[in-house]
Amino acid sequence: MAAARLLPRPLLRTALPSRASPQAFSRSLSQLPKVAAAHMAPVNGFVGAIGNTPLIRLMEPGGSVKDRAALYVVKDAEEKGLIKPGGTVVEGTAGNTGIGLAHVCRSKGYKCVIYMPNTQSQEKIDLLRMLGAEVHPVPAVAFDNPENYNHQARRHAERLDNAVWTNQFDNVANRRAHIETTGPEIWEQTDDGRNLDGFVCATGTGGTLAGVTAFLKEKSQGRVKCWLADPPGSVLHSYIQSGGELMDRQGGSITEGIGQGRVTDNLKPDIEKLDGSVHVPDAESIEMVYRCLDEEGIYIGASSALNVVAAAKMAKALGKGSNVVTILCDGAYRYQNRLFSRKWLQSKELESAIPQHLQKYIILE
Ligand SMILES: Cc1ncc(COP(=O)(O)O)c(C=O)c1O
């Protein structure tokens, strides 16, 4: 099982990839943590396969961390009676929540309509359409513009009968997904927190960071440190560093699905609980995409690579031997025509960020 082979790798300890040893990949099943064995039991369909992700098993069944939010916002709409059988789920998304929703909708018999900024990768748009979603790529404009993809999604749902706008950014069912699943899974897989000193990840909606932080802070009575990681162009690092005074929006990033211009309702309850934040330039994230592939054999997207860089910085700050957990949000498959294209890297002035010995992975022109 792929997860079994990946489990012993050191992301859990410091999130700092090191050279893979053949031994690490050939441990017998009896040496694996109990949780890996638990995942060998069959699960019930797509919905049953969401959650209980072993720490170094990278993906969710829909291929990203956002499957959890997708399932919870749909369940929330059902519980509140906002959607009935055969109804339509409408969402604004950078793509991954949409892909999770498209899967959940297929398995539950709903239609799925997605609005997304037209800056996102073609791979995500294609996959959404293959999964049966109706996709509207729209110009990327700020949240305060009525043509922002989220507002367009809301208006679309309002025009239909039996339809719900799941509103992942401000619907706290998203945060709850991570309080009830991701947080407890991290806790259990770090020996009830005994092997856990820190948690860090970047935010889009903030659901993952907020939910995990809420859970870990309560469980550890504040002991586990929680940090936010931010790409260029996102305001949250400056907001946290300035004690809520500044919102510096300068720059832009190649990362997708993360970076935020405001404090969402999902992040609001927990932003004060954070112990720090770290800014990660794109050059460091893209280098880590290549390093993870080369040194760990794992093929991750840029937001995941940013998280690994941030986890390494946090582990360094917390001191030798500290264990920091982060999230590998999705795979590079969703971005490979960009991340491994020389032309694209050149257009972003990032070709020189890839060390010489890793340039062999730039296989697309
Ligand atoms: C690739 C990727 N990474 C990270 C995130 C951020 O997760 P969250 O919305 O829980 O903050 C997203 C969100 O869409 C994403 O698509």
For residue 27, what pLDDT is reported?
33
Ligand 1 contacts CB of residue 100 (under 6 A) = no
Instruction: Determine the atom of ligand 1 nearest the C-alpha atom of 168.
Output: 9
For residue 121, what pLDDT is reported?
92
Give pLDDT < 50 ranges for the chain: 1-39, 57-58
Tell me if 258 is assigned to some domain. yes
Residue nearest to atom 6 of ligand 1 (CA): 204
Segments forming the whole domain that contains residue 36: 2-42+173-347
Regarding whether 177 and 160 lie in a shared domain, the answer is no
Regarding whether 74 and 31 lie in a shared domain, the answer is no
Regarding whether 332 and 195 lie in a shared domain, the answer is yes
For residue 19, what pLDDT is reported?
32
Q: Which of 97, 132, 165 is the last residue in one of the domains?
A: 165
Instruction: Determine the atom of ligand 1 nearest the C-alpha atom of 255.
Output: 1
Question: Do residues 210 and 270 touch, judged by C-beta distance below 8 A?
Answer: yes
Tell me if 49 is assigned to some domain. no
Residue nearest to atom 13 of ligand 1 (CA): 257
Tell me if 275 is assigned to some domain. yes
Instruction: Determine the atom of ligand 1 nearest the C-alpha atom of 169.
Output: 9
Contacts of 110 (CB under 8 A, 6+ apart): 74, 83, 86, 87, 88, 89, 104
Residue nearest to atom 15 of ligand 1 (CA): 257
Residue nearest to atom 2 of ligand 1 (CA): 257
Ligand 1 contacts CB of residue 232 (under 6 A) = no
Tell me if 52 is assigned to some domain. no
Q: Which of 165, 188, 212 is the last residue in one of the domains?
A: 165
For residue 53, what pLDDT is reported?
72
For residue 32, what pLDDT is reported?
36
* Each residue's pLDDT tens digit, 50-87: 888 766 544 678 889 999 999 999 999 999 999 999 99
Distance 159 CA to ligand 1 centre (A): 28
Phi-psi region of 207 (alpha: psi -120 to 50; beta: other; left: phi over 0): alpha
Tell me if 54 is assigned to some domain. no
| Whole-angstrom distance, CA of residue 173 vs CA of residue 296 | 34
- Among the listed residues 71, 129, 135, the one whose alpha carbon sits nearest the alpha carbon of residue 100: 71
Distance 331 CA to ligand 1 centre (A): 12
Regarding whether 244 and 189 lie in a shared domain, the answer is yes
Regarding whether 330 and 203 lie in a shared domain, the answer is yes
For residue 51, what pLDDT is reported?
83
Distance 96 CA to ligand 1 centre (A): 7
Tell me if 226 is assigned to some domain. yes
Regarding whether 180 and 116 lie in a shared domain, the answer is no
Instruction: Determine the atom of ligand 1 nearest the C-alpha atom of 94.
Output: 14
For residue 309, what pLDDT is reported?
98
pTM for this model (two decimals): 0.87
Query: CA-based Rg of the chain, rounded to a whole angstrom?
Result: 20
Question: Do residues 173 and 82 touch, judged by C-beta distance below 8 A?
Answer: no
Owner of token pair 């995941």: 304
Ligand 1 contacts CB of residue 94 (under 6 A) = yes
Distance 31 CA to ligand 1 centre (A): 32
| Whole-angstrom distance, CA of residue 204 vs CA of residue 188 | 25
Regarding whether 330 and 192 lie in a shared domain, the answer is yes
CA 73 to chain centre: 16
Counting the structural domains of the chain, the total is 2
For residue 61, what pLDDT is reported?
82
